[in-house]
Amino acid sequence: MSDNVITDVTQLDALYGAASPRSITKEIRHLNSEYRSFIEAAPFMAVATVGAEGLDCSPRGEDGNVVRVLDENTIQFADRRGNNRLDTLRNIVYDNRIALLFLVPGIGETMRVNGRASISVCSDLIESFTTNGKRPKTVVEVKVDRVYFQCSKALVRSGIWDTGKQMRPGDVPSAGKMLEATSTDDLDAREYDRDLERRHPDELW
């Protein structure tokens, strides 16, 4: 192994030094009122899971709160309509460990939650997550193990909330162009993008 590659945590500790005390004490094992308020303000989160085929990190968003906080130890969220790959759900069945990262528009800090997930098909619970007349097929419930907020450095560095740095359509490849580049059939990128724009309003939920 090259001397330029770190292979154990003692090397990491020697290189970086000890964690600051506040970075340790901010991690708690439940949702206090401040952490809960932050999470309930978030319309978007990233969901990380692990399964038999490896890792997955998926985006989740809602028009309002992306999750429902039941109590200081329990979070629920609907599995909205998607592409039916079911990467997150398959992973939860295999290994119930889950990590959530919450973003609040305009705010530099993020919130991190690690816990254990289960998938519910309870009819009453699913009905309670109905939006625009559309019911999710399942609801994911997360039991909180650890929660803490991340400081704003990453989002400040990225300028993600700076409207002057926002990309315009065409600055990056569209969904159609990316599919066309990986497709084995005669997919037409422009036609796909036009159809996607038409379908979006009816398929969000």
Interatomic CA distance for residues 58 and 100, integer angstroms: 10
Per-residue model confidence as pLDDT tens for the chain (205 residues): 678 999 999 999 999 999 999 999 999 999 999 999 999 999 999 999 999 989 999 999 999 999 999 999 999 999 999 889 999 999 999 999 999 999 999 999 999 999 999 999 999 999 999 999 999 999 999 999 999 999 999 999 999 999 999 999 899 999 999 999 999 899 999 999 999 999 888 888 8
- Domain 26-161 belongs to what architecture? Roll (2.30)
pTM, two decimals, is 0.94
Q: Name the strand (E) or helix (H) holding 115.
A: strand 110-120
Interatomic CA distance for residues 69 and 19, integer angstroms: 30
pLDDT, position 63 = 94
pLDDT, position 1 = 61
Interatomic CA distance for residues 28 and 144, integer angstroms: 10
Contact 114, 50 (CB under 8 A): no
CATH 2.30.110.10 spans which residues of the chain?
26-161
pLDDT, position 20 = 93
pLDDT, position 201 = 82
Phi, psi (5° rounding) for residue 204?
-65, -35
> b vs e for 168-196, b when ≥16 Cβ sit within 10 Å of the residue's Cβ?
eeeeeeeebeebbeeeeeeeebeebbeee
